[in-house]
Amino acid sequence: MQARIRTRQLTLDVPTFLQRERPVSGWAGMFLSAAFEPPRRSLVRLLDRIDLDIRDGDRVALLGRNGAGKSTLLRVLNRVYQPTSGTVEVQGSCQALLNMSLGFNGEATVRENVYLRGVAMDLRSSFLRRHMDEILEFAGLQDKAGHRLRTLSSGQRLRLGFAISTSVQHDIMLMDEWVGTGDANFMARATARMQDRVSGSRIVVLASHSVGLLREVCNKGVVLEAGRLVYAGDIVESLRAYHELLAKVRDNQPIEFEDADAGPVQVMGAVEEIALAAGGGQVLLKGWMVDSQGRVPDGLVLDFDGCRYAASLRERTRRPDVQRHFGLQDDACGFSATVEVPPATTLADLSGARVLGGHTAAEAGAPLRLAPAVQAAIARAVRA
C-alpha cells in the first residue's frame, strides 16, 4: 500500500483566554480586577485552510519562523488535534517523534516505563518483551532496568525515550527537529538509527530550522507563516521561498499566501439529539451550528439515501456553552428542527444519513458532527 498524506482546507481553531490589560494600583485593585474581569475566552486560528498532498517517497521539510504553525501541523497529522474544519487523510502507519517521553512515569522502573511508553505508542506487550534487552542496550541503561525513572538524569531519560520511540519502523515519520541530545557516543548511534529510520520510511515530514539538514534529508518543502501556506514544492524552491519570506518580514512587506482568496466561510456544529416522530416520516433534530465568522446559519438538510430533505427550524435555543467556546457575540446558536422524511420509519433507517449545515438549505453542505449519544441511539436501533 502506498503511503499518503492529504489535507484539504485544514483549519484549526483553539480556545484561548485573554486577560484585558488594566492599570491597577495595589493588592486590592488587583484582586478586584481578577474577580470582576475574568479572562475573556476567544478563538485563535493556528492553521488556516492548508491544502497539502504528500506522496510516497516524499521527504518534506516544514519551514517557517518561530510560531508559524509547524509543530501544530505535525500534531494534527499525528491526530493529537482534530481539525476544526477541513479534512486530513493519513494513509500508512505513523511514527511521531514529537514527545518521546509521553507515557513515562517517574515512580515506575525503567523496565516498566518501556511498557508504559510502548502502550502510549500502541505497541504490543509481546513486541516490547522481545525487544526489551535491545531497547535497554541501545539506551545504555541495562544496569538501570530496575531503577525508578526519576533517579535517571535528564539525558538518560531522553535516551530511553528515543530508544523506545525509534524501536519500530513505520511508513510515515513525523519529526519536530532532528534528535540532538546525549553524549558523543550516543549521538553517533542515534544519528545512525535516525538515518536508518528515514531511509526505511515511505514519507518523512521534518520541521527544523537547520537549513543544511533539511537540504540533506528532504526533497520537498512546505513554507508556513502565521498558520497559512506560503509555498509547497521542491526543496530548492521552498528554501528560496522561505528566504524570500524572511526578507519580506524584515522589510515589512506584505506576504503572499497560496490560498490568496478568502476561501469559503466554514460552517460547523453538532447534532446532539435525534428522534423519530410517532408513526415515522418526521425526524426531530436538536443541536447547534455556527460559522467561522461567528454568525449563526439557518440552512439545515438531512442527506438520506442520496436525497436532500430540508429541515424547518422550530426554535432557536440559547447555548451559552457554545457561545463561550467560540467567543460569540450571541448565544442563540442552538436549534430545534424537524425534517419530513417519508421513507424513514425507524431510527435504524437513519444509519448512514448525514446532517448538513449552511446559510441556506440550498447551500447546506458542511456535515455536522453527530454527538456520541446520537450515534449510540442509531446503533441501538440498528441492533434491535
Ligand X SMILES: Nc1ncnc2c1ncn2[C@@H]1O[C@H](COP(=O)(O)OP(=O)(O)OP(=O)(O)O)[C@@H](O)[C@H]1O
Q: Which residues bind ligand X (CB under 6 A)?
A: 14, 16, 44, 46, 64, 66-72
Q: How far is the CB of 71 from ligand X (least distance, A)?
A: 3
Q: How far is the CB of 63 from ligand X (least distance, A)?
A: 9
In the complex with ligand X, the residue whose CB is nearer, 72 or 113, is: 72
The DSSP string of 150-209 is GGS-HHHHHHHHHHHHTSS--SEEEEES----S-HHHHHHHHHHHHHHHHH-SEEEEE-S
In the complex with ligand X, the residue whose CB is nearer, 54 or 68, is: 68
**Residue 105: count of CB within 10 angstroms of its CB:** 13
In the complex with ligand X, the residue whose CB is nearer, 210 or 282, is: 210
Q: How far is the CB of 223 from ligand X (least distance, A)?
A: 11
CA nearest to 299, candidates 250, 265, 258: 265
Q: How far is the CB of 73 from ligand X (least distance, A)?
A: 7
Q: How far is the CB of 190 from ligand X (least distance, A)?
A: 20
In the complex with ligand X, the residue whose CB is nearer, 221 or 287, is: 221
Angle at CA of residue 201, ends 179 and 186, nearest 5°: 30
In single-letter form, the type of residue at position 210 comes to: S
The DSSP string of 272-321 is EEEEE-TTSSEEEEEEEEEETTS----EEEEEETTEEEEEEEEEEE--HH
In the complex with ligand X, the residue whose CB is nearer, 66 or 153, is: 66
Cell of 231: 509555498
Per the CB < 8 A criterion, the answer to whether 255 and 225 are in contact is yes
